[in-house]
Structure 1
Amino acid sequence: MNLPEKAEEVHAALAAAFNTGNIDTVFEIYDYNGIIVPEPGKVVSGKEQFEEAVKSILSVNGTMAIKTVYCLQTGDVAVGRSEWSITDGDEVKISAKGIEVMQRQADGHWKIIIDHAFGALDSLKA
């Protein structure tokens, strides 16, 4: 598994990890001490809740694609805006616009510490 060495590589690494179907690979890209919003209005944290959220997304049959709209970095912290989807052939199973906060780890690799998978949707209510 290739963990991202640059903040702007995190989205591509996450999509590749999801597309392997290997949950352990996906978990390596996340920091369990952070938070993930796997669906609007649902915020989870901690290993057990992360695993449940990721397993739910992995259960959607198809291929994940993540486009990096931007990635801004200062020091060991970065924020990214993504457009992502899971498709099966021509059928779009799910798509959204997300916001992710990433942090460089002591080993030089980047992990997502906040993943709001729907954070940039126009219709999202606070």
Structure 2
Amino acid sequence: MLFLKLFNEGNLPKMIELIDADITTVLGPGRGTVTGKTAWAREIQGFLDLKLPLNLRIRSIQQSGNIAQVVSDWTIEGNTAAGKPIREQGTGIDVLRRDSLGNWRYIIDNPFGVKFHK
């Protein structure tokens, strides 16, 4: 999966190419949402700053025409630069749309999908 590869390389500029300009990002339980690539990049940068690998397991992909929903379990685990143990995890629910060139773009990024209902 290209997103996983780019994340683990820390390649934010290439990751941004996978994102729709009007992406909605769900910030996490009780934190609301933000819209647009800049806001998405700001959120993902916090994960990239940990400099820890993302592990991802796709649960399901459902597609209807040019729209797809991806459900995945993910973890980021290890020690921070200061040596503090950290474990972030979630079951993400993402929605992608195929553009006119045939490329899939994230339109909803909900990394804590099943935990966010407020």
Instruction: Output aligned runs, 1:1-126, within 5 Å.
Output: 12-40=1-29, 41-88=31-78, 93-121=87-115, 124-126=116-118
Deviation string 1:20-71 (CA, Å, 9 cap, x unpaired) is: 1111111111112021123322311123212211211211221001211000
* Count of paired positions: 112
Structure 1 residue runs of 5 or longer lacking an equivalent are 1-11
* Amino acid corresponding to residue 21 of structure 2 in structure 1: Y
**8 Å Cα contact 1:62/1:93 also seen in 2:** no
The CA distance in 2 between the partners of 1:76 and 1:92, in whole Å, is 37
Output the aligned Cα RMSD.
Answer: 1.7
**8 Å Cα contact 2:16/2:37 also seen in 1:** no
The CA distance in 2 between the partners of 1:115 and 1:33, in whole Å, is 11
The CA distance in 1 between the partners of 2:5 and 2:24, in whole Å, is 21
Deviation string 1:63-97 (CA, Å, 9 cap, x unpaired) is: 001211000001100111110111238x6621101
Structure 2 residue runs of 5 or longer lacking an equivalent are 80-84
The CA distance in 2 between the partners of 1:102 and 1:113, in whole Å, is 5
TM-score where L is the length of structure 2: 0.84
TM-score where L is the length of structure 1: 0.79
